[in-house]
Amino acid sequence: MRAAAGEGDVAGPDREAAGRTPEFAGRDRDASGRPRNARPRDELGRPLPRGAGGEAPPPDEPALAPDAALDLAQQLIDSGRAFRAHEVLEASWKAAPPGERDLWQGLAQIAVGLTHAQRGNARGAVELLRRGGRRVAGYAGGPAPYDIAADEVARFAADLAGRIERDGLDPATTEDLRVALRTGGR
pLDDT at residue number 130:
98
Judged by average pLDDT, the poorest of 22-31, 81-90, 120-129 is: 22-31
What residues are paired with 41 via a beta bridge? 47, 55
Of 93, 169, 159, nearest to 151 (Cα)?
159
| C-alpha span between 115 and 81 (Å, rounded) | 8
d(CA 64, CA 75): 14
Q: Which residues pair with 148 in a beta bridge?
A: 182
CA distances from 90 to 18, 73, 102, 127, 140 (A): 33, 10, 11, 17, 20
Q: How many Cα atoms within 13 Å fall on the side-chain side of residue 9?
A: 10
Count how many domains the chain has: 1
Task: Please check whether residue 80 lies inside any domain of the structure.
Answer: yes
* 126 touches 165 (CB < 8 A): yes
**87 assigned to some structural domain:** yes
Residue 35, domain member (yes or no): no
Read off the CATH number of the domain in which 83 is found. 1.10.3450
Q: Considering the entire predicted model, what is its pTM?
A: 0.73
Under the banding of pLDDT at 50, 70 and 90, the label for residue 142 is confident
Q: Is residue 6 part of a domain?
A: no
Helix axes 122-137, 101-119, angle to 10 degrees: 160
